[in-house]
Amino acid sequence: MTIEYPSRSDTPRSHLPFSPATRVGDLIFVSGQASVDLTGKIVSDTFEGEMRRSIENLRKVLEDANSDLSHVVQTRNYVRDSEDVIEFNRIYREYFSAPFPARTTITNCLGPNLRYEIDCVAVVRKD
């Protein structure tokens, strides 16, 4: 089976040693997406701003791999401050709908520069 690393020049990148996504067959494994610009520079914001930017980065990486948010089967979410969990759940429902993907949420994590990060497993869209 072939392993691919789909990305385009306008895919958000990190200076750290990982690929934005890895595709194996019809499965896409997306690395953690945070509130960063195209060069991987952290864009600090409110929790809501960082979460929305992170999910928009996730959306872009999925598009590059011929998928989208409706084809996500699992998410892992990292919320730095537990007091943001109520807002996290409210915003999450705007991007993912029932039946929701399988989900893990870890709180009280991440360093001081990030409020939120998300990674996922998705399937390729069958157009």
Of all residues in the chain, the percent with pLDDT exceeding 70 is 100
More confident residue, 55 or 19: 55
pLDDT per residue as tens digits for the range 41-78: 899 999 999 999 999 999 999 999 999 999 999 999 99
More confident residue, 91 or 16: 91
Say whether pLDDT at 127 is over 80.
no
DSSP the chain: --EE----TTS---SSS--SEEEETTEEEEEEEESB-TTS-B----HHHHHHHHHHHHHHHHHHTT--GGGEEEEEEEESSGGGHHHHHHHHHHH--SSPPEEEEEES-S-TT-SEEEEEEEE----
Q: Look up the CATH number of domain 3-123.
A: 3.30.1330.40
Q: What is the mean pLDDT of the chain?
A: 93
Helix axes 85-95, 47-64, angle to 10 degrees: 30
pLDDT per residue as tens digits for the range 87-100: 999 999 999 999 99
Question: Among 8-12, 37-41, 98-102, whose mean pLDDT is lowest?
Answer: 8-12
Give domain limits for the chain: 3-123
pLDDT for the residue numbered 79:
98
pLDDT per residue as tens digits for the range 103-112: 999 999 999 9
